[in-house]
Amino acid sequence: MSTTSPGVHRVTAFAKWIDANPDEVADRLFRVCVTSVPSFATSGREIEIAFRAAFSAFLPAAGKAVTTGEIDCGTTFPAAAEHLVRRLPAAGIKLVDLVLSYDIAGNELLDAFSKALRGSSDWLEDSDRADMLSVVMVRLFQFRQAALSRSIAVYRQEQQLLEHYGTSDVLDAVRKVLAGELGDAEAERRLGYRLDGRHMGFVVWGSEATEAALKGVAARLGSQLRARQSLVVLPDGHALHGWLSVPDNVPGVDVLRARLPVPAGIRVSLGTPHHGSSGFRITHREALETQSLTDRSTTQPVRPDGPAATSSIVSICDVVPLVFASRDVELARHFVRSQLGSLVEPRHSILHETLRVWFEELGSPTRAARRLNVHVNTLVKRLDRASDIVARPVNATDFAFRLAFELSRVTHANDTGESPGSGH
């Protein structure tokens, strides 16, 4: 669509005003919208950040559309805006809130420009102020409607995908793919998900979590891992199973833990990336096993009154020794006792945590002490105490000792003993 009058020189003031104050204008629109539509600020920090980024992306497109009069839905919808809209259904944000945000932002943008126009005559370029404002208002409305139309289409598409993933047909197809009972072509048709990529399986669960909360975490997970496509099913009310098609340079678990906030009461287990339909099955098995072992093994607190040192995001790589130990727990328990002796008992919980961090820091007392917020001498004394208990020097490169320590998390997770505190 093109609006041909007046000439370009009559409406350049709008784009110049945006170019001169992009951050200030974007911040103003953002503040007004979250005040009127609070769901964009109460549905998680990532939604709020994406909402703010959408304003910054829209402003240059709005300036160009108003200047040229060329209003094209395809070119007026920035990637940042699409990224935001695709996440809204899973976050529980209603379509009416999205529509309202466009109305509020459009009105506020026009109002802010009108005030700026009245306060200066530098931009008029021999044009009448009222005529200019009239043209800006018409073109800005056309731009807003084109972008809103595209947003609604994307929102409904994503909403349909979420509803599709929850149907019994999709769940049945997933079960058959996992059992090797469907060919790739038929599976892709029924799932709406390609199997020739690189897949990462995951489980999002929480005994008290709502379906919307689980799907919200899954959507944010896909965004952080830069997933090209996603598939989720809800086999029961408390655990969501999913797959993401991820790039080769997918962020690591440590990066994910730092960037992805997970609500209290919800946990995420991850498989490792694998290719093809066989990889689709393997990474799912890894994620399920990780979920099971995560529920069974909880790290003891460093202090009797301290919080458990657990993470909301757990990878198969974090628990792989436990996977194999769980196949013959009795044999694993004997091996652990032969290596660790009474060090496995709960009364030595402080030493457990010290050794865990020390291993993670590759045997560096300085780095481990810094992480534990203790003096290096204190850490060394704890290592000496552990050496006394096992009757040999502890060594970060001792494979048998390290393996036994990791296995103890599942083989002795439910042991009871004296009150913690004697392991200093």
- Please indicate, yes or no, if residue 319 is contained in any of the structural domains: no
- Please indicate, yes or no, if residue 401 is contained in any of the structural domains: yes
For residue range 229-247, what is the model confidence (pLDDT) as tens digits? 889 988 876 899 999 999 9
pLDDT given at position 213: 86
Residue 410 has pLDDT above 80, yes or no: no
Mean pLDDT within 71-77: 62
161 and 173 part of one domain = no
34 and 125 part of one domain = yes
33 and 107 part of one domain = yes
Mean pLDDT within 61-86: 79
pLDDT given at position 421: 39
- Please indicate, yes or no, if residue 418 is contained in any of the structural domains: no
Residue 216 has pLDDT above 80, yes or no: yes
User: For a pLDDT cut of 90, what percent of the chain falls above it?
Assistant: 20
Band (pLDDT 50/70/90 cuts) for residue 10 is low
Q: Which residue has the higher pLDDT, 299 or 73?
A: 73
- Please indicate, yes or no, if residue 384 is contained in any of the structural domains: yes
Mean per-residue pLDDT of the chain = 81
pLDDT given at position 9: 47
289 and 378 part of one domain = no
User: Could you list the residue range(s) of the whole structural domain that residue 192 is in?
Assistant: 168-296
177 and 285 part of one domain = yes
Q: Among the listed ranges 83-97, 219-233, 323-337, which one has the minimum average pLDDT value?
A: 323-337
Mean pLDDT within 334-338: 84
pLDDT given at position 420: 35
Here the tokens at position 304 are 């009797």
pLDDT given at position 15: 87
Residue 141 has pLDDT above 70, yes or no: yes
pLDDT given at position 386: 94
101 and 142 part of one domain = yes
Domain end residue (candidates: 254, 281, 296): 296
CATH number at residue 205: 3.30.70.600
332 and 379 part of one domain = yes
Cβ-contact 270, 202 below 8 angstroms? yes
Here the tokens at position 263 are 């609500």
pLDDT given at position 4: 41
pLDDT given at position 3: 41
pLDDT given at position 301: 34
151 and 192 part of one domain = no
156 and 184 part of one domain = no
Band (pLDDT 50/70/90 cuts) for residue 167 is low
pLDDT given at position 366: 93
Mean pLDDT within 207-219: 86
Mean pLDDT within 143-158: 86
pLDDT given at position 337: 86
pLDDT given at position 89: 80
For residue range 362-409, what is the model confidence (pLDDT) as tens digits? 899 999 999 999 999 999 999 999 999 998 899 888 888 888 888 887
Q: Among the listed ranges 42-56, 204-218, 259-273, 376-390, which one has the minimum average pLDDT value?
A: 42-56
Q: Is the pTM of this model over 0.75?
A: no
Q: How many domains does the chain have?
A: 3
pLDDT given at position 400: 83
User: For a pLDDT cut of 70, what percent of the chain falls above it?
Assistant: 84
348 and 249 part of one domain = no
